Amino acid sequence: MHTLQSYLCGSWQSGQGDPQPLENAVNGETVAQVTSRGLDLAAAVRHAREVGGPALRAMTFEERGKALKSLSAAIHEIREELIDLAAQNGGCTRGDAKFDIDGATGTLAAYAHYAKGLGDKPYLLDGEGSQLGRTARFWGQHVRVPRRGVAVHINAFNFPAWGMMEKAACSLLAGVPVIEKPATSTALVAWRIAQVVVESGVLPEGAFQFLCGSAGDLLDHLGAQDCVAFTGSARTGEIIRGNANLVKHNVRVNIEADSINAAVLAPDVDESSETYGLFLTNVSTDMTQKSGQKCTAVRRIFVPREQADQVAQDLAAELGRISVGDPTERENRMGPVAHSGQLEDVRSGMAQLSEVAKAVTGGLDPHPKGGCFVTPTLFQAQDGSAQVLHDLEVFGPVATLIPYDGSAQEAAALVCRGGGGLVTSVYSNDGDWTAEYVLEVSPWHGRVWIGSDRMAEQALPPGMVLPGLIHGGPGRAGGGEELGAERGLEFYMQRVALQGFKGFLQTHFG
């Protein structure tokens, strides 16, 4: 059994008192333990600001990018070990573990690539300069500079590798040191990656710290130059956003929270089209990959009313082909949900959905293999009137099929009742219908994925988060934004408008 430590102020440290156990979701055995009680988090914040920050800012963007590339390679070297740990603590199949780990190394490599075009100056230009006075002698130029604080990253349980490294890549490349705080329940993978980061020696001391266990009073030590990025439940996001110290000092906060993501099948799509096959495959994948524990997973499936029964039958058949069982056995495509607390939440949510919809496949009966296993479950509602369908995120292999009248306006109106999402997908070969739908839903989403026959053979699924595009969404989804290539650095930098003699600005900030 592993006893997890935190890496703070240049050393690995253990907390005090009774540790919290981390469980194997297949059999309930304790695989690791951790506590952060008694650790000096104020000292960790000072260490980041006073040691890590200056050292990072002394590096060029290209040098930071090379460090990210080295980290990507170092983590990839222990890929097989991480896959085994993800099965032990998280219930991940080999495919699900690779999805998480390769997402981490791929994002690090992507940001190493983006660094090559950022130059060797300690700032980034933001747009073109402009004449401010009667002549061009009085000039204005926006630039972005690294903030002089620390980035605290509070990560979710479902992607202990990818979630941590996508935040770290942006912050470190921007020149801001990080304190990474993984979700305790699945911290084993994150802890092992943290060991590799430290052992690699490619980052200056203080640039990377790792807090394993409770966040304690960490947020109470942050100030105006610091920032917090959180991924997790909307309720926890509200608590973080409302932290008195963060509010007092106007600390930047980025939240990625709940998202009742939707897939929409347009009325022009028939069963013979490539788009229909793509729809079935993607919905099934998004419902079952990571056992449905993805912030981008499909929770609501909207189909024209006259097609609802046929689509329900076809989706049930797709889900029925998913083998569920011990994630260490390669024939299984879905493992358990991550831990017993998550199982309770999923079953509670399924019970609520069963009051307004019927189970087409799966359902509330305990899985015959016990543990934290859940049968992939598709509910079918008679209509979209019950608000619980649009409010309740069951964070597991569960979704509800909801009929609509076939118009783009009604489909969009129903989707937007979710209050803001990370991604919505739409499947159609009708350009006018699709354009109308896209314009209606875009204000409520961070990303709109558009499927058609023309791109079916080359498309990545909508649940895939790509480093070159933004990840986040308005409203219920948290109102935050991550990644998006160079855009991902903006949260960690200060945009400042410089006004002065054009010659000076172009010489020193051009």
Going from N- to C-terminal start, the domains of the chain cover 40-257+481-509, 262-467
Contacts of 136 by beta carbon, 8 Å cutoff, 6+ apart:
502
The pLDDT of 446-451, averaged and rounded, is 97
Q: Where are the alpha helices (DSSP H) in 201-332?
A: 234-241, 244-248, 274-288, 308-320
Q: Are 56 and 175 in contact (CB under 8 A)?
A: yes
The model's confidence at residue 411, banded by pLDDT at 50, 70 and 90, is very high
6: tokens are: 């935190």
Average pLDDT over all residues of the chain:
96
Q: Is 274 exposed, middle or buried (0-12, 13-18, 19+ CB in 10 A)?
A: middle
Whole-number pLDDT of residue 115: 97
- Which residue type, as a one-letter code, is found at position 117? G
Q: How many angstroms separate the first and last alpha carbons of the chain?
A: 56
Whole-number pLDDT of residue 462: 95
Residue 424 has pLDDT above 90, yes or no: yes
Q: Distance between CA atoms of 179 and 155, rounded to whole angstroms?
A: 11
The alpha carbon torsion through 194, 200, 206, 212 (nearest 10 deg) reads 10
Whole-number pLDDT of residue 364: 87
Whole-number pLDDT of residue 456: 87
Residue 383 has pLDDT above 80, yes or no: yes
Neighbours of 300 (CB within 10 A): 25
264: tokens are: 């929409």
Is 295 designated active site? yes
Strands 252-256 and 398-404: unpaired
Q: What is the CATH class of 40-257+481-509?
A: alpha beta
The model's confidence at residue 397, banded by pLDDT at 50, 70 and 90, is very high
154: tokens are: 């509070």
Instruction: For the full predicted model, state whether its pTM sits above 0.75.
Output: yes
Q: Are 372 and 342 in contact (CB under 8 A)?
A: yes
319-335 pLDDT per residue, tens: 999 999 999 998 999 99
Q: Could you give the 3-state DSSP secondary structure of residue 296?
A: coil
Q: Are 440 and 471 in contact (CB under 8 A)?
A: no
Q: Distance between CA atoms of 503 and 510, rounded to whole angstroms?
A: 9
Shortest CA distance to 186 belongs to which of 22, 396, 373, 14? 22
Choosing from 23, 166, 180, 256, the catalytic residue is 256
**CATH topology for 262-467?**
Aldehyde Dehydrogenase; Chain A, domain 2 (3.40.309)
The model's confidence at residue 458, banded by pLDDT at 50, 70 and 90, is confident
346: tokens are: 């999923």
Neighbours of 492 (CB within 10 A): 24
Whole-number pLDDT of residue 2: 87
The pLDDT of 451-457, averaged and rounded, is 92
Q: Where are the alpha helices (DSSP H) in 230-273?
A: 234-241, 244-248
Contacts of 219 by beta carbon, 8 Å cutoff, 6+ apart:
152, 228, 240, 243, 245, 246
What b/e sequence results for 333-351 when a residue is b if at least 16 CB atoms lie within 10 Å of its CB, and e otherwise?
bbbbbbbeebbebbbebbe
In DSSP terms, 421 is beta-bridged to 445
Q: C-alpha 141: how far from its chain's center?
A: 34
139-157 pLDDT per residue, tens: 999 999 999 999 999 999 9
Q: C-alpha 255: how far from its chain's center?
A: 10
Place of tokens 């990303």: 447
Residue 57 has pLDDT above 80, yes or no: yes
274-309 pLDDT per residue, tens: 999 999 999 999 999 999 999 999 999 999 999 999
Residue 1 has pLDDT above 90, yes or no: no
Q: Distance between CA atoms of 374 and 464, rounded to whole angstroms?
A: 23
DSSP string, 334-380: B---SSHHHHHHHHHHHHHHTTTSEEEE--SSPPTT-TT----EEEE
Strands 178-181 and 151-154: parallel
Is 9 designated active site? no
Whole-number pLDDT of residue 155: 96
Q: Distance between CA atoms of 363 and 224, rounded to whole angstroms?
A: 49
Shortest CA distance to 205 belongs to which of 49, 40, 68, 60? 49
Shortest CA distance to 28 belongs to which of 89, 102, 106? 89
Extended beta strands in 9-59, E state: 11-13, 20-23, 30-34
65-91 pLDDT per residue, tens: 999 999 999 999 999 999 999 999 999
346-374 pLDDT per residue, tens: 999 999 999 999 999 999 888 888 899 99
Backbone angles phi, psi at 246, to 5 degrees: -65, -40
What b/e sequence results for 219-231 when a residue is b if at least 16 CB atoms lie within 10 Å of its CB, and e otherwise?
bebbbebbbbbbb
As separate numbers, helices (DSSP H) first and strands (DSSP E) second, the chain gives 16, 23
Alpha carbons within 13 angstroms on the beta-carbon side of residue 441 total 33
Q: Are 236 and 156 in contact (CB under 8 A)?
A: no
The 3 state secondary structure assigned to 433-479 is HHHHHHHHHHHHEEEEEEECCCCCCCCCCCCCCCCCCEEEECHHHCC
Q: Distance between CA atoms of 72 and 162, rounded to whole angstroms?
A: 11
Choosing from 92, 227, 295, 372, the catalytic residue is 295
In DSSP terms, 208 is beta-bridged to 178
Q: Distance between CA atoms of 131 and 496, rounded to whole angstroms?
A: 16
Eight-class DSSP state of 452? -
397: tokens are: 């292999």
- CA distance to 47, 149, 159, 208, 223, per residue, from 177 (Å): 10, 8, 21, 6, 14
The model's confidence at residue 99, banded by pLDDT at 50, 70 and 90, is very high
